[in-house]
A = this chain, B = another copy of it.
Amino acid sequence: MNAAQRLDATFAALADPTRRAILARLSLGEASVSELARPFAISQPAISKHLKVLEEAGLISRGREAQKRPCRLVGKPLADISEWLEAYRRHWEGNFQRLDALLDELKAQEPQAGAERPEGGSL
């Protein structure tokens, strides 16, 4: 997989609430499939399918022990999408800054008397 394909796989794996909940559980520590299945109202095979998607995206790794095969969160793909997002941070923070500037402008247009007296001073 090249970098773009890895991003495709990571974003696709994250586009599901059950898979995100599994990652949230694993962020607290490793867990077996049956431990992961417990809080969800879905079957163990269904959980196993989700784990396969997460594993193929590199978001989890599985232990070698034949019976338990505990799952662990792997942070690297999340670090990669965080890095991808950085290119846009300026944009969304810029939007908020433009909104702040607009609000300041609107405030400046309020009647002078009220705007000049922060602590409710009387005329």
Residue numbers of A with Cβ under 8 A of B are 4, 7-12, 14-17, 20, 23-24, 27, 73, 75-76, 78-79, 81-82, 84-85, 87-89, 91-95
Contact = CB atoms under 8 A, between A and B. Distances in A.
Nearest to A10: B15
Contacts of A88: 23, 27, 73, 75, 78
Oligomeric state, in number of copies?
2
Given A73-B91, A79-B92, A85-B81, A4 B17 contact: yes
A78 B82 contact: no
A87 B27 contact: yes
Contacts of A4: 17, 20
A16 to B, nearest CB: 7
Contacts of A12: 11-12, 15
A7 B23 contact: no
A24 B85 CA distance: 11
A53 to B, nearest CB: 12
A98 B106 CA distance: 50
A82 B12 CA distance: 16
Among A11, A23, A84, the most chain B Cβ lie within 10 Å of the Cβ of A11
